[in-house]
């Protein structure tokens, strides 16, 4: 739409002009509607770019006084271009002028007795400050992305798994003593060398090495408990439990026990030698298996009624974030009187260099319940516990013989003695 001005003696309809100005149809004191009019001698209309104020070099002024139409007409006569004109009340308005018109505007305001106040001066310095602020933000984003890129090409975490007997610190110490460091470039790591290094430990049978993201995963397989005798020496087979011998399967070596014989833990079952024709002892590897009947015994004291703490099924979750060891406060939203809390902490981005962890705590509501049992029910419970803790734990796979003895106590409680007899392997090599 083409901008133009129209000379008339009727002046400006201020209310309509202000509505047009606030809706963006009028820029400065120029009209874009042929129904509008400007006072005689008004400044030529110039298209104005709709640029944010802080990019322009000018002065923002707050003016207080009535008859604002008269003031705007005076500005127009003196060819003063106004920007960002805003009317706050019937007697107050704010506007922006060019810096070169500062003296002329102030003179007009003083002449017409208006009260004014400089809100902000938009200078080249403020423009450069704005550019600097935006540049700092852009530079921070670029720096963060760059750091993330270079961090992703390095190893920042070490995860060791599969170890039960061997301490994690022993594997870490071995790696660090041989040059491994957090922050190393991924390209400088040789997985085959790390695998060979960790597998050199006596407790390790094999090692798997994998790199995912910024994490080096080392999974070890520990050596078995079977003793492998060094070349030139031999070991015998010894009893792991007190037992009555039932079967002897000797592939090499000399059996030292007989069926039906009672042996104690640690007794020699198969000797690491053989007898030659002259009855001389010749060293030989003892290889074979010996079976026997083992008896397990456990005592339990219990009552037929008890109070147990159980979960009701209601739960609540509270989540927090951890930065460099500091944790944000968790919002706990439950009102459980009794509860069990389980907290799990893990990296928010495990495969990226971002030092943030997520700490999640789950609260489970607990309630005390009075439980009443039958005697046979409690007996079976403790029998199953005995089997799980003893015979089955040690590898028995034959049907056991179970004998129980129940004694009632004076206070209404019971004492249960469980005898478990089972045939199982008591020694092998």
Cα–Cα distance, 367 to 136 (Å, whole number):
56
Residue 387 is predicted with a pLDDT of 83
What's the confidence (pLDDT) of residue 52?
Answer: 46
pTM of this structure:
0.38
Residue 340 has pLDDT above 80, yes or no: yes
Task: Provide the pLDDT for residue 417.
Answer: 92
237 and 426 Cβ atoms separated by less than 8 Å = no
Q: What is the mean pLDDT of residues 252-277?
A: 89
Structure tokens at 201: 């430990």
Instruction: Look at residue 34 in the predicted model and tell me its pLDDT.
Output: 35
Question: Residues 83-106: pLDDT tens digits?
Answer: 888 888 888 899 888 888 888 999
Lowest-pLDDT range of 50-59, 61-70, 336-345: 50-59
Question: Where does 319-425 have alpha helices with state H?
Answer: 375-386
Rounded-to-integer distance, Cα 292 and Cα 242, Å: 9
What was the pLDDT predicted at 1?
A: 35
Q: Could you tell me what percent of the chain has a pLDDT over 90?
A: 13
The per-residue pLDDT for 360 is: 86
Nearest alpha-carbon partner for 413 in 305, 275, 269, 292:
305
Q: Which residue pairs, CB below 8 angstroms and at least 24 apart, start in 185-188?
A: 185/153, 185/154, 185/155, 186/153, 186/154, 186/155, 186/211, 187/153
Contact of 319 with 360, CB cutoff 8 Å? yes
Range(s) within the chain of domains with CATH label 3.10.20.310? 154-222
User: 287: exposed, middle or buried (C-beta count within 10 Å: 0-12, 13-18, 19+)?
Assistant: middle
314 and 336 Cβ atoms separated by less than 8 Å: yes
Give CATH 3.30.70.260 domain extents, the chain. Answer: 14-122
Out of 46-60, 274-288, 333-347, 384-398, pick the least confident. 46-60
Give the Cβ contact number of residue 243 at 10 Å.
26
pLDDT confidence of residue 37 = 39
3-state secondary structure of 254: strand
Predicted confidence band of residue 274 (pLDDT cuts 50, 70, 90): confident
> In this predicted structure, what is the pLDDT of residue 353?
58
Report the candidate in 241, 236, 203, 238 with the shortest Cα–Cα distance to residue 221.
Answer: 203
More confident residue, 138 or 52: 138
Please give the CATH architecture assigned to the domain spanning 14-122: 2-Layer Sandwich (3.30)
The overall average pLDDT reported for the chain is: 78
Of 46-50, 131-135, 267-271, 278-282, highest mean pLDDT = 267-271
CATH for the stretch 154-222: 3.10.20.310
pLDDT confidence band for 18 (50 / 70 / 90): low
Comparison of pLDDT for 328 and 294, the residue scoring more: 294
pLDDT of 49 reads 45
Give one DSSP letter per residue of 329-346, joined into a string: PP------SSEEEEEEEE
80 Cβ contact list (under 8 Å, min separation 6): 43, 97, 98, 101, 104, 105, 108
């Amino acid at each position: 739409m083409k901008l133009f001005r129209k000379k008339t003696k009727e002046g400006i309809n201020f209310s309509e002009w202000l509505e047009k100005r606030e809706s963006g149809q009028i820029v400065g004191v120029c009209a874009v509607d042929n129904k509008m009019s400007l006072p005689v001698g008004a400044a030529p209309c110039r298209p104005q770019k709709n640029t944010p104020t802080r990019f322009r070099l000018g002065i923002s002024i707050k003016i207080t006084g009535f008859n604002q139409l008269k003031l705007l007409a005076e500005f127009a006569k003196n060819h003063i271009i106004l920007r960002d004109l805003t009317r706050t009340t019937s007697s107050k308005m704010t506007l922006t002028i060019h810096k070169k018109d500062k003296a002329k505007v102030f003179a007009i305001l003083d002449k017409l007795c208006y009260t004014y106040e400089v809100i902000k001066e938009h200078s080249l310095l403020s423009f450069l400050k704005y550019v600097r602020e935006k540049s700092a933000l852009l530079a921070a984003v670029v720096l963060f992305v760059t750091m993330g890129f270079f961090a992703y090409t390095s190893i920042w975490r070490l995860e060791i798994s599969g170890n039960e007997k061997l301490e994690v610190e022993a594997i870490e110490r071995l790696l660090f003593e041989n040059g491994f460091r957090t922050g190393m470039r991924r390209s400088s790591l040789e997985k085959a060398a790390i695998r060979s290094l960790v597998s050199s430990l006596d407790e390790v049978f094999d090692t798997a090495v994998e790199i995912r993201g910024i994490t080096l995963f080392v999974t070890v397989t520990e050596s078995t408990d079977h003793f492998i005798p060094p070349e030139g020496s031999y070991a015998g087979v010894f009893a792991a439990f007190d037992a009555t011998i039932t079967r002897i399967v000797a592939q090499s070596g000399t059996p030292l026990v007989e069926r039906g014989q009672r042996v104690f833990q640690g007794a020699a079952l198969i000797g690491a030698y053989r007898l030659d024709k002259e009855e001389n002892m010749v060293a030989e590897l003892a290889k074979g298996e010996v079976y026997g009947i083992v008896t397990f015994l456990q005592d339990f004291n219990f009552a037929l009624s008890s109070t147990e703490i159980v979960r009701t099924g209601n739960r609540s979750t509270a989540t927090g974030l951890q930065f460099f060891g500091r944790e944000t406060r968790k919002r706990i939203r439950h009102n459980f009187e009794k509860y069990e809390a389980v907290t799990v902490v893990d990296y928010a981005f495990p495969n990226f260099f971002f030092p943030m962890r997520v700490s999640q705590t789950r609260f489970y509501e607990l309630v005390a319940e009075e439980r009443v049992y039958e005697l046979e029910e409690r007996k079976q419970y403790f029998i199953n516990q005995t089997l799980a803790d003893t015979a089955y734990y040690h590898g028995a796979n034959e049907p056991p013989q179970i004998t129980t003895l129940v004694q009632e106590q004076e206070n209404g409680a019971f004492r249960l003695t469980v005898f478990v007899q089972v045939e199982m392997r008591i020694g092998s090599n």
